[in-house]
Amino acid sequence: MSSKAETLLRVKQLRAEADALEQSIQTITPLAAIGKHFDESPATPLLSTDLAAQLEQQEQLMLNELKSYASRDMIKLTPRTEVLPALSTEGEQILAAGFTPDLDILRQVVQEGSYDLPKPNPVAGQLLKKKVVELQAGKLMLPGREAAEPVRELLKAQLAGDAAAAAAGAAALDADLAKTFALLSAELATQQEYFQHLTAISKGDHSAVSKDMIAVFTRRKWAANKKVTVHLIEKGPQFALEVQVQAKPVLTKKDLDNYIAGQMAPSRSLNIDYVRGRVPQTGHLHPLLKVREEYRKIFLNMGFTEMKTNNFVESSFWNFDTLFQPQHHPARDAHDTFFVRSPAKAALPTSAEGPCYVEAVKKVHSEGDFGSIGHRTPWKEDEAQKNILRTHTTAASARALKELADQGEFRPVKYFSIDRVFRNETLDHTHLAEFHQIEGLIADRNLSLAHLLSTLKEFFRALGMKDLRFKPAYNPYTEPSMEVFAFHPGLKKWIEVGNSGVFRPEMLRPMGLPEDVSVIAWGLSLERPTMILYGIDNIRDLCGHTIDLKLVKTNPFCRLKPSDEEAEETSTAAAAAAAASQ
């Protein structure tokens, strides 16, 4: 034959081989298998587990595919709870090994003549109980010592797969040996059968496994019955052997116009809702944060710098003592202040070089200093060390001023802060145990009350409050002190908007600030103006776990301030809010 003809012949053979291979790897689709099942037995429903076993697929993975057919009405899928056997870890191990542990031992006894048993072994125990082996001097052997050899030969043949030769040989044995052979031959077969049934369970081919077999497996802890959800498959009205891919509907301008005009129902396949525009889910700023931003901008525009306020837990020293608040002051009572249990105490500041700040504070409290007679009561470090949740942001102001004093040469500063404070209040519709304070201060040489008055006017004017009134007040750390009132045109009355004063020398001089430096300061809450601006009359609608999240999601992006005339007609809700917070 010419080499060309040979090659052509080879090509032909290869093609045939390739076709055969392709045929062999062609997988049956679940749909084809379902179709085949109902062709053969239209009345019997098919179980998803049986289908998975037949296709050698995992039922859980196949289920997604089945569900997609069900959504197209090609099949009907009904979940059903069934009790089915499942392999234990040990069962899985047997499957992986390819034989039961019993067979492993028996094989060695048959092939080697004995099996070493250094310590009690439950598997060996099973075999001893069945009397298929005997224990002799720590070794497992075939029963009936002397006579065992011919039986062993026949069993070897059986293990090698030559059952016919084994049976023929057995016929020639005497009665006792024939009995031993029959016993062992049956045991080997049983063990092989066990393995086959474990395999069937793992494949989900449950129908092949008898109840007795499952009882044996349960006892041996190789498998156990478990409640599982299986799915009943029935033919659906749209049953087909292939999934029909539907052409996507074309969206016309007319469809759109109809939809917008409300004449067309939203269609899932057209996904038309997105044409109209959907509000995406995004983060939202809480009204308090928006108003905080407004205050922050006012301060920044006036040239103020933000102070550090990053400690909710503060020592009594910074919250009270540095502010010349006497140690027996009622505000230090547990009724007004939250004390921290752990750690209960804070370290007081130490100064390695120069005069000790703590000593200076002690002196001004207990004996007086810088021309002040002080409180003239004993001052205890122990009291100053107590940790609390800060009751005002003035504690942060004190820290900032001390830092300023420590910088050596004095330079004037304008500082502000907006952050959370905590008070052990009785909760009601205007009080929560935590709220936000806004605080501003200016430190410069020779500042007077006049500077404070004009600064407050400037600050509140930026907030839209033109008319201010001041009322003498008392703070342990300011002298003079003033409450600030503003006229609310909408409510037509004077409402309290803040507290202010000039920090006392008893607070500033121990820090080391020069004698001619004064600090003017004021503070207000963030919640109160926010409630007025948003027309909220109960603080529990603004903060805390009971608020309606819609408030956060739907509050306007920005607020436009009404003109003065419009402000006259401010909503009654705002009036109620302010009246309530008096």
Cβ nearer to ligand PHE, comparing 87 with 521: 521
448 CB contacts (<8 Å, ≥6 apart)? Answer: 502, 518
Among 321, 369, 439, 527, binds ligand PHE (CB under 6 A): 439
Residue-wise DSSP of 452-506: HHHHHHHHHHHTT---EEEEEEEETTEEEEEEEEEEETTTTEEEEEEEEEEE-HH
Binding of residue 505 to ligand PHE (CB under 6 A): no
Residues 402, 511: Cα–Cα separation, whole Å: 5
Among 180, 315, 455, 478, binds ligand PHE (CB under 6 A): 478
Binding of residue 314 to ligand PHE (CB under 6 A): no
The total of other beta-carbon atoms located within 10 Å of residue 314's CB is: 24
Binding of residue 500 to ligand PHE (CB under 6 A): yes
Q: Which residue has the tokens 């002397």?
A: 146
Among 34, 75, 521, 536, binds ligand PHE (CB under 6 A): 521
> Which amino acid would we find at residue 233?
I
Of 62-70, 153-161, 499-507, 572-580: span binding ligand PHE (CB under 6 A): 499-507
Residues 570, 552: Cα–Cα separation, whole Å: 22
Cβ nearer to ligand PHE, comparing 295 with 522: 522
Residue-wise DSSP of 122-149: HHHHHHHHTTSSEEETTEEE-SSTTTHH
Binding of residue 309 to ligand PHE (CB under 6 A): no
Binding of residue 522 to ligand PHE (CB under 6 A): yes
Say if strands 115-116 and 139-141 run parallel, antiparallel, or are unpaired: antiparallel
Cβ nearer to ligand PHE, comparing 376 with 471: 471
Locate 369 and state its tokens: 């200093």
Contacting ligand PHE within 274-293 (CB under 6 A)? none
Say if residues 211 and 184 touch (Cβ distance below 8 Å). Answer: no
Residues 346-377 as b/e (b if ≥16 CB within 10 A, e otherwise) read bebbeeeeeeebbebbbbbbbeebeeeebbee
Cβ nearer to ligand PHE, comparing 287 with 523: 523
SS3 321: helix
Contacting ligand PHE within 370-409 (CB under 6 A)? 392, 394
Binding of residue 443 to ligand PHE (CB under 6 A): no
Contacting ligand PHE within 523-552 (CB under 6 A)? 523
Among 101, 169, 287, 501, binds ligand PHE (CB under 6 A): 501
Cβ nearer to ligand PHE, comparing 416 with 534: 416
* Interface with ligand PHE: number of residues (CB under 6 A): 11
Among 316, 475, 570, 581, binds ligand PHE (CB under 6 A): 475
- State the chain's maximal CA–CA distance in angstroms: 130
Binding of residue 321 to ligand PHE (CB under 6 A): no
Cβ nearer to ligand PHE, comparing 314 with 439: 439
Locate 286 and state its tokens: 């809480």
Cβ nearer to ligand PHE, comparing 362 with 436: 436
| Contact residues for ligand PHE, defined by CB under 6 A | 392, 394, 439, 475, 478, 499-501, 521-523
